[in-house]
């Protein structure tokens, strides 16, 4: 009597039967029917990859290390201005900043060189409601108010506008992720009226590496960061370069490391004290 074997259904292509015994080249069948043993169906679940949401642009900007982003700081900056025709100029100025960490802040620039603009001083006081800008001219011994309409004008040939001395205003577009030379960066685009500022921030350490500014869709300036150092436990940009296509010039900036101090004197930020310069 022939022993008929029941087909064994495969589940997940896995099955084992102990009804067959292999011995050399002979195949022997047992007299008793041995129920096949089937491995029960395994449950496989696929764990979806966790995709971290990209932070909004404003949050990334606030976390990033920008030029003049440190609060309550004092230092001296040397700037070297080079024009395409070979002409050069040099500037040296004090930059002091006082901030409570909120909406109120004060920032001061006082020129040390060259001699013809020494002691010329700019003060920007910002509150939650308004921004006041002042300029002191030693040759006139007079302090003047810088009107709002002039906020984008350059501060005495140093490639920095009055507006640049405060946190930028406008609205950020959604954050973009880009790759450059094998590294990931956040691309932050800030728009205000006819002006667009594009910040390239390292996704690894939130350092600003490049800033490109367009006005009326024309390149206004390009900023590249060259050096970052740590002072008082915080990272700080200490060397950078600005290319100005309209004036066909490049300006190199370098902060004197030995001049960096915390907690500048409060008297520096009073409008009535701007003439106190030696």
Q: Of all residues in the chain, what percent carry a pLDDT higher than 90? A: 54
Contact 44/14 with Cβ under 8 angstroms? no
Domains and CATH numbers, the chain: 57-273 (2.50.20.10)
Rounded CA-CA distance 158/127 in Å is 25
More confident call, 51 vs 186: 186
pLDDT digits (tens, 9 = 90+) for 202-219: 999 999 999 999 999 999
More confident call, 70 vs 141: 141
Contact 74/64 with Cβ under 8 angstroms? no
- Is the confidence at residue 28, as pLDDT, over 50? no
Q: Poorest-confidence range of 58-62, 83-87, 101-105, 193-197? A: 101-105
- Is the confidence at residue 75, as pLDDT, over 50? yes
Rounded CA-CA distance 67/7 in Å is 76
Separation of first and last alpha carbons in the chain:
121
Contacts of 20 (CB under 8 A, 6+ apart): 27, 29
pLDDT band at 26 (very low <50, low <70, confident <90, very high): very low
pLDDT digits (tens, 9 = 90+) for 238-262: 999 999 999 999 999 999 999 999 9
pLDDT band at 134 (very low <50, low <70, confident <90, very high): very high
Q: Of all residues in the chain, what percent carry a pLDDT higher than 70? A: 81
- Is the confidence at residue 228, as pLDDT, over 90? yes
pLDDT band at 3 (very low <50, low <70, confident <90, very high): very low
Rounded CA-CA distance 225/74 in Å is 20
Contact 240/221 with Cβ under 8 angstroms? no
- Is the confidence at residue 24, as pLDDT, over 50? no
């Amino acid at each position: 009597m022939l022993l008929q074997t029941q087909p064994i259904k495969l589940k997940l292509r896995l099955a084992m039967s102990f009804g067959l015994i292999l011995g050399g080249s002979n195949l022997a069948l047992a007299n008793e029917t041995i129920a096949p043993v089937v491995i029960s169906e395994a449950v496989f679940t696929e764990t979806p990859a966790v995709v971290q949401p990209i932070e909004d642009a404003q949050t990334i900007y606030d976390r990033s290390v920008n030029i003049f982003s440190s609060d309550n700081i004092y230092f001296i900056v040397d700037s070297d201005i080079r024009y395409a025709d070979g002409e050069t100029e040099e500037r040296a100025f004090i930059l002091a900043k006082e901030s409570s960490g909120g909406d109120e802040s004060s920032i001061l620039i006082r020129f040390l060189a060259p001699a013809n603009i020494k002691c010329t001083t700019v003060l920007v006081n910002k509150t939650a409601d308004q921004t006041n800008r002042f300029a002191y001219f030693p040759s006139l011994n007079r302090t003047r108010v810088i009107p709002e309409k002039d906020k984008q004008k350059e501060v005495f040939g140093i490639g920095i506008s009055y507006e640049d001395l405060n946190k930028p205003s406008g609205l950020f577009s959604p954050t973009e992720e880009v790759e450059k030379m094998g590294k990931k960066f956040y691309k932050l685009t800030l728009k205000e009226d006819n002006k667009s500022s594009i910040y390239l921030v390292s996704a690894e350490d939130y350092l600003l590496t490049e800033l490109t500014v367009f006005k009326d869709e024309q390149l206004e300036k390009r900023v590249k960061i060259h050096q970052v150092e740590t002072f008082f436990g915080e990272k700080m940009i200490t060397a950078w370069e600005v290319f100005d296509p309209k004036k066909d010039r490049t300006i190199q900036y370098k902060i004197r490391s030995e001049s960096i101090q915390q907690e500048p004197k409060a008297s520096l930020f009073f409008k009535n004290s701007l003439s106190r310069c030696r």
